[in-house]
Amino acid sequence: MNAINDQLSLAPLGAGDLIDRAVRMYRQHFFTLIRIAAPPVLLSALGSTITTIAFREISATGSDIRLALYVFLLLGGGAITICGSLFSVIVIGGATRNLVAHLLSNEPVSARATYRAVKERFWSLLGGSILVALWLGLAAGIASMGGGMVFWFVAIASFVLSSISPWVTGIVVAIGTIAATVLGVCLFFLMAGRVAYVPQAIMVEGRTVSGAIARSFGLASGNVRRLMAMTLFTTFATYSALMLLIIPLGWYGYLNGVDISPFSRFEQPAWYAIGYEVIWQCSHILLAPIWMLGLSLLYVDERVRHEGYDVELMASRELPEMPKLPGVISPFAPALVTGRAPRFVPPPPGQMNTGSVLGLS
């Protein structure tokens, strides 16, 4: 077992350590992780490209038949994009199972193992991903309402203070805008973090969709700051990669008379808009594995913190599998469940022990 795996499984990780482990594993398994992350991103890229073309042509066409066709393409492209996003959540579950198997027995990280695991529990992962998407939509709505309420209070205060001093008004607006943004972001991650481990619970622990949601809610306490740090790092890295990749396209467009300002997106030619979308998705392909690894490592770390999962991992490495006794169903799941999670069935009332704690009468 290499040093990275030993350090990963034996020590709880802070936000910086979590990002560091994700980046190190990303560098170690770069091409494999790209192959794992590419299919859902390519699916989203296809939907985004279709949506971009249809949206631009709707306002330019004068034919009713073409208008109906572009509306249909717009809806179809949006559906494909949503499917790609759901597929990304599904692949995270398969990647987490592959990661835990890598920690247990040093199995190689491979795209085949990841997608084979996804195939085994695809429908459960799909149902869990849909519920996660709905919950994230609810979280975004509540976060927007919370930030909007603060912003409206700031707007009223700035209107009252406008007669006193424009400087005071500007300071109040700036502070209030920052406060509204921070409140909205905190509310979103406070809710979104509760469902961060649904695909992992399905794949690693063999739980049903409802059981995985309950498991994620119970396991996700205290992960808000680390989840925010992962999101901030991944977003910054994605936009940095986008800027590096978009510079050649911007130079070429500028030399051909294209206004590359973001405020003139709808006036830009179709080839430039499509090229921008393709480059955006390419940057996402490069950085999606870090997000995927980060959530997987965060799940393992939460179990290390709350349940001594590192002890389970070490025991599973060193000890043989617990024998299965006839008529006995253990309430304790192994470190990596091979099927569905075992369901604990209590013994019949007539067979329950009524003696002392040691079973002595």
Q: In the 3-class helix/strand/coil scheme, how is the chain assigned residue by residue?
A: CCHHHHHHHHCCCCHHHHHHHHHHHHHHCHHHHHHHHHHHHHHHHHHHHHHHHHHHHHCCCCCHHHHHHHHHHHHHHHHHHHHHHHHHHHHHHHHHHHHHHHHHHCCCCCHHHHHHHHHHCHHHHHHHHHHHHHHHHHHHHHHHHHHHHHHHHHHHHHHHHCCCCHHHHHHHHHHHHHHHHHHHHHHHHHHHHHHCCHHHHHHHHCCCHHHHHHHHHHHCCCCHHHHHHHHHHHHHHHHHHHHHHHHHHHHHHHHCCCCCCHHHHHHCCHHHHHHHHHHHHHHHHHHHHHHHHHHHHHHHHHHHHHHCHHHHHHHHHHCCCCCCCCCCCCCCCCCCCCCCCCCCCCCCHHHCCCCCCCCCC
| pLDDT in the model for residue 247 | 82
User: How much is the mean pLDDT over the chain?
Assistant: 77
What is the gyration radius of the CA atoms in the chain, in angstroms? 25
What is the rounded distance in angstroms from the CA atom of residue 33 to the CA atom of residue 287?
10
Q: In the 3-class helix/strand/coil scheme, how is 101-147 assigned residue by residue?
A: HHHHHCCCCCHHHHHHHHHHCHHHHHHHHHHHHHHHHHHHHHHHHHH
Could you give the dihedral angle defined by the CA atoms of residues 112, 114, 118 and 119, in that order, rounded to the nearest 10 degrees? Answer: 20
Give residue 93's Cα distance to chain centre. 10
Whether the pLDDT of residue 361 is over 70: the answer is: no
In the chain, the percentage of residues whose pLDDT exceeds 70 is 78
Give the residue extent of every domain in the chain.
22-314
Which of 233, 240, 232 is closest to 189 using CA atoms?
232
Select the more confidently predicted residue: 159 or 210: 210
| pLDDT in the model for residue 348 | 46
Backbone phi and psi for residue 328, each to the nearest 5 degrees, phi listed first? -120, 125
Summarize pLDDT for 145-195 with one digit per residue, the tens.
988 888 888 878 777 777 777 777 778 788 888 888 888 888 898 888 888
Summarize pLDDT for 278-296 with one digit per residue, the tens.
788 777 788 788 888 888 8
Whether the pLDDT of residue 341 is over 80: the answer is: no
27-42 mean pLDDT: 87
Residue 19's alpha-carbon distances to 27, 115, 233, 297, in angstroms, are: 12, 24, 8, 9
Residues in the chain: 361
Summarize pLDDT for 84-125 with one digit per residue, the tens.
888 888 888 888 888 877 776 677 888 888 888 888 888 888
Select the more confidently predicted residue: 19 or 12: 19
Summarize pLDDT for 302-338 with one digit per residue, the tens.
877 777 766 666 666 665 655 555 554 444 455 666 6
Name residues whose C-beta falls within 8 Å of residue 200's C-beta, 6 or more positions apart in sequence. 92, 93, 96, 216, 295, 296, 299
Whether the pLDDT of residue 342 is over 50: the answer is: no
347-352 mean pLDDT: 46
Summarize pLDDT for 71-82 with one digit per residue, the tens.
888 899 889 988
| Most confident segment among 27-31, 220-224, 256-260 | 27-31
| pLDDT in the model for residue 262 | 66
Grade residue 56 by pLDDT with cuts at 50, 70 and 90.
confident
Q: In the 3-class helix/strand/coil scheme, how is 9-44 assigned residue by residue?
A: HHCCCCHHHHHHHHHHHHHHCHHHHHHHHHHHHHHH
| pLDDT in the model for residue 138 | 93
| pLDDT in the model for residue 57 | 77
**Token pair 């396209």 in the structure block, residue:** 249
Residue 351: how many other CB atoms lie within 10 Å = 7
Summarize pLDDT for 220-245 with one digit per residue, the tens.
877 778 888 888 888 787 777 777 77
Grade residue 203 by pLDDT with cuts at 50, 70 and 90.
confident
User: Residue 58: is it exposed, middle or buried by C-beta count within 10 angstroms (0-12/13-18/19+)?
Assistant: middle
Does this model's pTM top 0.85? no
Amino acid at 313: L
Q: HSE on the CB side for 249, CA within 13 Å?
A: 19
Whether the pLDDT of residue 6 is over 60: the answer is: no
